[in-house]
Amino acid sequence: MGKKGGKSGQSKEAVKGGKNCSKEPFSKKGGQSKECVRANQSKEAVKTVSTRSATDTKQSKSTDEEGMINFMARALSHNHWFHGSMPRDEIEDLLKAEGEFLLRRTEVEGKPRFAISVYKKGTIKHILLHYKDGMWNVRDIKKKTLTELINAHVEGKVPVMSDGTKIVKGAARPDFYILHEHIDLKKRKVPVMSDGTKIVKGAARPDFYILHEHIDLKKRLGGGAFGEVYIGIWKKSDTESIEVAVKRLKGMMHKKERIELVREAKLMRRFDHQNIVKIYGVAPQEEPMMIVLELASGGALNGHLQKNPDIAVEKLVSYCKDGARGMCYLASRNVIHRDIAARNCLLGKNDELKISDFGLSVADRSLVKMDKLKSMPIKWLAPECLRKGEFTKKTDVWSFGILMWEIFTRCKTDPFPGETNLEAKKKILSGKQPMQVPPNTPPIPASVMEMCFIQDPAERPDFEGIFKILSPDEKPPINIDNMFETYSPY
């Protein structure tokens, strides 16, 4: 296409109209005015054609589609029916009415794709979209942008000829001159599948979906194999911004990693307790995905104890009470944490301990079995974990005993200092108390620690019992409504 004609065939005014869209009033669902939507469609068309011309001679067909999908994610984020990289299992519950649909990113044979998920007669249909020769298409409908493609199916405003001719009003004519399918397009929604499945209404994003553009990363706190953690600012509304912690995953995630990330976020949304790190939401619209969390300004417990070796014993006891209170809360909600350790505890603004990192946690299961423990923290595991690969609330109790040992040694070393995982495993399975209570541990915490290390899980106390011993004047945070809660972690 020549330069004079413009890259998209749009007028300068149409393209220029998108400049002020960033000034639209803030919307929790990410919505915009009709004028902004039209402007964004114009910008999408410009981006589509320019990207196509730049890569046509350099990339394969599959790379072209992959690049376009990555490029368009941000442009689509203002459409309330675009749900980013959320896995299909997580979005199906959002679709409840006939024809209700959403658009999402998925992965097919290791390559990113766009797919429409739509409710049809009690089932969810999933339709992959295709990009070819600068056009997006589903069946016979082809459009330059995904917004246009979706609108064509929703509104039925589909051109009847390649030059853009549309049917507007029927006129008298011979019977053989009438195209019934064109009349149908005006009167009913256009099916996206041959069985008549239609998309009718886009499902709004849940409140816990956060747009990337509303997150401003400020300072890197640390990182690991999974990604990095930052201090950031979350623009919660036009009038409110709050300081948060942001867990940002490294680069492009595979489907399995996305599912695990969303599973962890979904579980954390169930919690509301002063000794549990709070989650604000997840940002799935673009790569890399992010989890937005409460900022625990005191940092990690292990680092704090190492930097303050002279911290008062009374404060150490307080940390144990906080941890027991948080674990009592989780246990009453049928949660098995599976990774209780000082490294996974944070300190809030009032120096209170908060349980964090629920990547290994499960809910509403009394027993979890694992065939392989390769990625598990051996020195924090109970004997039954090592013998049979079994995890329960009572295995969390054992790990809590290890956490107390870390607290009263001020995290100078890992548990079983100077010993390998194999040597530690032998001690754990020996039938004897695996480690001695650290010197200067007060009698009550010392007795709790020893009870946590009882070999038979049936004889170990539960977290309600532990909390009553550590804080006898305080009522345990028991969830009396737990019998009415339902949750499926898989």
Give the pLDDT band of residue 275 (cuts 50, 70, 90): very high
Q: What is the mean pLDDT of residues 104-120?
A: 84
The rounded distance, in Å, linking the Cα atoms of 316 and 307 is 14
- Percent of the residues in the chain that have a pLDDT greater than 90, as a whole number: 44
Average pLDDT, the chain: 78
The rounded distance, in Å, linking the Cα atoms of 290 and 246 is 7
Is 339 considered catalytic here? yes
Position 383 pLDDT exceeds 50: yes
pLDDT at 98: 82
pLDDT at 434: 94
pLDDT at 242: 94
Q: Which of 200-214, 245-259, 321-335, 472-486 has the lowest mean pLDDT?
A: 472-486
The structure tokens 């797919």 sit at 115
pLDDT at 391: 97
- Using the CB atoms, write b or e for 28-49: b if 16+ within 10 Å: eebbbeeebbebbbbbbbbbbb
Give the pLDDT band of residue 66 (cuts 50, 70, 90): low
pLDDT at 96: 83
Higher pLDDT, residue 153 or 148: 148
Higher pLDDT, residue 20 or 118: 118
Which H or E run includes 229?
strand 227-235
Domains and CATH numbers, the chain: 12-202 (3.30.505.10), 212-294 (3.30.200.20), 300-484 (1.10.510.10)
Position 363 pLDDT exceeds 80: yes
Instruction: Assess contact for 294 and 245: CB atoms under 8 A.
Output: yes
Length of the chain measured in residues: 490
CB atoms near residue 289 (< 10 Å):
24
Residue range 398-413, pLDDT digits in tens? 999 999 999 999 999 9
Give the pLDDT band of residue 386 (cuts 50, 70, 90): very high
Q: Which of 64, 322, 339, 414 is catalytic?
A: 339
Position 327 pLDDT exceeds 90: yes
The rounded distance, in Å, linking the Cα atoms of 341 and 355 is 9
Q: Kindly state the tokens that stand for 392.
A: 């329960």
